[in-house]
Every structure is written in structure tokens, then in C-alpha cells.
Amino acid sequence: MTKRKGLSARQQHILRYMDQYMGEHGYPPTIREIGAATHINSTSVVNYNLNKLVQAGYLERRDRVSRGMRLVKWGRAADNLLRVPLAGRIVASAPVEAYADGSGDMLDVAPATLGNNPPGEVFALRVQGDSMIDAMIADGDIVLLRRADTAQNGELVAVWLADEEATTLKRFYHEGQRVRLQPENPTMDPIYVDAAQCRVQGVVVAVIRHSH
Amino acid sequence: MTKRKGLSARQQHILRYMDQYMGEHGYPPTIREIGAATHINSTSVVNYNLNKLVQAGYLERRDRVSRGMRLVKWGRAADNLLRVPLAGRIVASAPVEAYADGSGDMLDVAPATLGNNPPGEVFALRVQGDSMIDAMIADGDIVLLRRADTAQNGELVAVWLADEEATTLKRFYHEGQRVRLQPENPTMDPIYVDAAQCRVQGVVVAVIRHSH
DNA sequence: AGTATAGCGGTACACTTGTTCTAAGTCAAA
DNA sequence: TTTGACTTAGAACAAGTGTACCGCTATACT
């Protein structure tokens, strides 16, 4: 890739210091702090080497902004962590709770877990009870749902069945006026409900089970 | 997971903005930038609410330091993403494959998913086949395992049964010379095997199912 | 030698930015 | 209504901080 070769001892020192300082404080050091730590007696020299590092691709800087720099390839990389609201519980006997924005717990998930779903539309619910075992989902599991009031054929959705007053997780198939809800468990038969009686609450993005 | 309560709308807005800004720039915003983003017309008011956030434990600040703040519990604190090797497949008819370090896919997981398990000891396997349905684990699921050749009573483990030449996921109970392996599914009976015939391959940390 | 270039040190300046002070508005309890 | 705590606004100040400019040294090359 890029030649680490051309970096002077001072420049490497600066990189190490920035990484350390960043982890310690959560924000980058100033030019003068870098100078003090690396035994450079002039702010202009620090600035000089900083620009060298930018040129070499190790750093990004913003002009005239205090502490306006960031490590690009060196540092503990990006911020690749998303958070989704852990809104409440999902039980068979009640519809999915409306999730109050901001208030409540947040759950860390890896971006890959969300796939292509827009992070802002995804929320998490903890399953309460064993009513979803036919969908291979156990008590205490966490279900990640994308907010939706409609679904594509074949998607695994959380639906509220008005006439049965129950929430279930089933695969969704639109069949004319009716809707076929297919359990994940292939040994179980599908159920058919009137489309009007069936309110889609969300599309299942992932299921997470923690053993601790 | 973090609880937010007692924070004014402005304070919540500030937290959200700081989180976003931090991810975008790699360094925290200034008081005036926060004010502009949250429609606060006075730097002193921003400063006031910032101190409130410190008092509430959401923020750390350093006096007289530009951008001298950091999110403590809220932020996607820089490097909060762990990677575990996605080593191979787990099937009923073969022992867990030895996992080749480094080579192969890596799976991003949130630190919370690993719990207290040492990240270096955790690896992931994709389940192939429906042989684990009694453990509520479906074809295609990803199982996170902590490397171990022994287990505590009650832990969910992956074991290789030498005489049956099969790998299963069961709860582990040491009972004298024998070992009781209890299926997750409570309707199924436990099996008892000689301790010598039972090789623990790992302890289940979590199960992840992606719907896409 | 002469010259060009990279690197360093020092200083002054201007802009950035946190802090402080005063005054006023809001809202609930007495 | 009055009181007092909490919140907001505005402005001025002082300190923090990046930048520009000057001169100096050392090395390499013509």
C-alpha cells in the first residue's frame, strides 16, 4: 500500500501519540500538545509534520479547526457500530408495542446484522413466553424488526391477528383476499386469515439469542 | 444498553448530535456548533446543558479545552466492534472443524453479544441441516461458541459423541462417571453418555439468525 | 563553491472557542 | 400574587489554538 518507509521517527511518534491520546481522552490533541509529547519545540514544525502525514495518507485534517484531525488507516478504525432501540417485549397476547423514540434501552448490533435495512427503521423486542417456538424462537430471544405495515411474499413478519387477539411470527403470503401465514416449522400447517384481520407490525430482520 | 430519563429534549438532542458529529469527524463539536445544530442561540445555554449532562453522567468534560468532551455511556465509542472468525459449518455428522486462525470470513458482532467471554476465544459456525431443531436452532443459523474442552453444569455446549459419531448442542450436566445431555426442548428426553465418549467442543455464547 | 531542498525553532498574529456576567423569561409551589 | 429554582439569551472577555513568516542548519546535487 503506502510506504511506511517515508515516515520519520517524529512522524511515527506523532501517530502513536495521537492514537494513545485519542483513546485516553476521546478527542484529538492540539498541535502544542503533540509538540510537548514528541519533544518538538515549535508549533510550526508539528504543523509541518502533520501536513506530511496528511500527504502520506495517514491523517485527515480540517483547516482552522482546533483538534481538527483524525487518524485514517492507523487508528482503531471507524465507528462501525449501530444502535437500535430495545423497545419492549413481544408477547402472543398483545400487539407489538409502539416504540417510544429515545426513551428506553438501546441495543448494540453489528451493521452486517441489519443488512440493507435502514437503521432508523429497525427496533428490537424481547420475546416473552414460549408462544413462538413454532418459529424457532424461544423465551428471552431478541427479535430485530423493521417497521412496516405491509410485507412482501415470503417475508417473516410479526402480525397481529385481530380476531384471535394474538401476535405471531409467520411467513407472509398474500393470496387474493386472504393471507396465508406459514409457520417456520414445516411440520405445522399454515393458517389462512382475512387480509383485513391481519395487521403487519414489522418484518423480522434477525433473531439473537444470548446464552448468558 | 443505556437508560435515558430526566433529560430535556434539548439535552437528548445534544447527545444525538454529538454522537453523529463524532462519527462524522472523529472529534467532538464545539459549543457553538452544538448550538447551531440544536437551535440554541447562546453559547452559555449550551454550556449550561452540557454541564447538566455531565452531572447526569452522560458526558465527561475538561475545562478550558476546546472540544474537550466525550460521551461516556451513549456514544458509539470509537472501537466498539469485535470480529470473530466465521470458521466453517457445524453439522450433526462431523465434529466441529478446527478453525483456521485468520484465514476465512470474519463476523462483526457487538461486544454485548459476547458478554464476558474473551473475544479471542470466541468463534462462529454456521449451522447446516435441521439436526439442531430440538435446540431451537435452524438451518443457516450462526452459533457463537467459546472454545472449551470442558463445561460447567447447565451450560449449552457443542459436544461430539464418539460412539454415535454426531455433534449436538445440548445442556451439559456432569453426573459422576456419566454426563447428562439435556435437550433445550423440554418435551424431549435427556440422553446419558459416558464421560469418555463425550468431547466438549465449545460453549454456546449466542445464536444469531439473519432473515435476509 | 554555489544552490536547492528538507527540516527545525521562534515568534507574532488572527481566529476559534470556553468562560463569565447580567438580565430576562418560564413555571410550579407557597 | 409572590417567591424561588430552573432555563434562556446576549454580550464581552480571556484563554486556547491554528497559521504565517522569518531565519537558521544540514545534506545532497550540479
Instruction: Identify whether B4 is part of a domain.
Output: no
Cβ contact A142:A107 at 8 Å: yes
**A106: nearest CB among B2, B71, B108:** B2
In a shared domain, residues B20 and B91: no
**Torsion angles phi and psi, residue B202, rounded to 5:** 175, 165
Average pLDDT, chain B: 77
Residue A102 pLDDT level (bands cut at 50, 70, 90)? very low
Q: pLDDT digit string (tens) for A28-76?
A: 999 999 998 888 888 999 999 898 888 878 888 988 899 999 887 543 3
Q: Do B80 and A108 touch (CB under 8 A)?
A: yes
Residue A53: give its domain's CATH number.
1.10.10.10
State whether A111 and A176 are in the same domain: yes
Residue B161 has pLDDT above 90, yes or no: no
- For B165-188, how does the pLDDT look when each residue is reduced to its tens digit (9 = 90+)? 777 888 899 988 899 988 877 777
Asked whether the beta carbons of residue B208 and residue A211 sit closer than 8 angstroms, the reply is no
Q: In angstroms, what is the C-alpha Rg of chain A? A: 26
Instruction: Verify that A11 and A47 share a domain, yes or no.
Output: yes
pLDDT of B103 strictly over 50: no
Is residue B77 a part of any domain in this protein? Answer: no
CA of B52 to C1' of C27 (A): 19
Q: Which three cell numbers stand for residue B52?
A: 447538566
- Indicate the residue type of A43: T
pLDDT level of residue B28 (50, 70, 90 thresholds): very high
Q: Per the CB < 8 Å rule, is A107 touching B68?
A: no
A118 part of contact set with chain B, CB < 8 Å: no
Q: Residue A164 is placed in which grid cell?
A: 384471535
Which one of B1, B12, B207 has the shortest CB-CB distance to A106?
B1
The number of helices, as runs of H, and strands, as runs of E, in chain A is 4, 11
| CATH number of residue A160's parent domain | 2.10.109.10
- Is A77 within the bounds of a domain? no
B190 and B104: one domain? yes
Residue A184 pLDDT grade (very low, low, confident, very high; cuts 50, 70, 90) = confident
Residue of B nearest to A137 (CA): B136
Report, as an integer, the average pLDDT of B31-48: 90
Domain count, chain A: 2
The three cell numbers locating residue B43: 453559547
Residue closest to A46 by CA, chosen among A20, A22, A15: A15
Q: Are B87 and B122 in contact (CB under 8 A)?
A: no
CA distances from A181 to A154, A155, A174, B157 (A): 9, 10, 9, 34
CA B8, C1' C29: Å apart?
21
B39: which 3 cell numbers? 437551535
ipTM of this predicted structure = 0.54
Does residue A161 have a pLDDT over 70? yes
Q: Which of B18, B42, B71 is the last residue of a domain?
A: B71
Residue B33 lies in a domain: yes
Instruction: Return the sign of the alpha-carbon dihedral for residues B29, B31, B35, B36.
Output: negative
**A125 and A39 both lie in a single domain:** no
Predicted pLDDT at A111: 66
d(CA B174, CA B205): 19
Q: With 60 as the cut, is the pLDDT of residue A18 above it?
A: yes
Q: Give the residue ranges of DSSP H helices in B57-151.
A: 111-114
Q: How confident is the model at residue B94 (pLDDT cuts 50, 70, 90)?
A: low
Same-domain status, A201 and A96:
yes
Q: Please, is B66 exposed, middle or buried when counting C-beta atoms within 10 Å of its C-beta (0-12, 13-18, 19+)?
A: middle
- Nearest residue, CA→C1' of C17: B66
- Residue B81 is predicted with a pLDDT of 54
Please give the average per-residue pLDDT across B108-124, as a whole number: 72
Residue A104 lies in a domain: yes
The pLDDT score that the predictor gives to residue B82 is: 58
**3-state SS record for B41-72:** CCHHHHHHHHHHHHHHCCEEECCCCCCCEEEC
A67 closest-nt by C1' vs CA: D17
Q: How far is the CA of A62 from the C1' of D9 (A)?
A: 31
Residue B136 lies in a domain: yes
pLDDT given for residue B75 in this prediction? 39
> Quick one: A106 and A24 in the same domain?
no
What 3-state DSSP class applies to B161? strand
Instruction: Based on the fold, state whether residues B112 and B183 are members of the same structural domain.
Output: yes
Q: Which one of A71, A100, A121 terminates a domain?
A: A71
B97 shares a domain with B45: no
pLDDT at B5: 40
Is A98 among the domain residues? yes
Strand partners, B200: B159
Instruction: Choose, out of A50, A81, A107, A143, the residue to mutate when testing the contact with B (most B CBs < 10 Å).
Output: A81
One domain for residues A91 and A170:
yes
Mean pLDDT to the nearest integer, A79-103: 52
Domain encompassing residue B102: 83-208
Q: Is residue A76 a part of any domain in this protein?
A: no
* Cα dihedral: A140, A145, A147, A151 (round 10): -120
